Amino acid sequence: MLTFKRLSIEDARLLIAGAAEKARDIGVPMCIAIVDESGNLIAFERMDGGKTSSVLIAQDKAYTAAAARKATHEYNAANVPGSLAFGIHTEAGGRISSVGGGLPVIVDGEVVGGIGLSSGTPQQDMDCAQAGIDYFQGKRQ
Residues lying near its own copies in the complex (CB under 8 A) are found at 1-9, 11-12, 36, 38-48, 51-57, 60, 63-64, 67-69, 73, 76, 79-100, 107, 112, 121-123, 126, 140
Nearer to its own copies, 21 or 123 (CB): 123
Nearer to its own copies, 59 or 131 (CB): 59
Contact by Cβ (8 Å): 16, 122: no
List the one residue out of 32, 26, 4, 13 whose CA is nearest residue 140: 13
Q: How far is the CB of 57 from its own copies (least distance, A)?
A: 5
Q: How far is the CB of 72 from its own copies (least distance, A)?
A: 9
Give the ranges where the chain is alpha helix by DSSP (H).
Answer: 9-26, 54-67, 72-78, 91-94, 122-139
Q: What does the alpha-carbon distance between residue 25 and residue 45 come to, in Å, rounded to a whole number?
A: 17
Nearer to its own copies, 37 or 131 (CB): 37
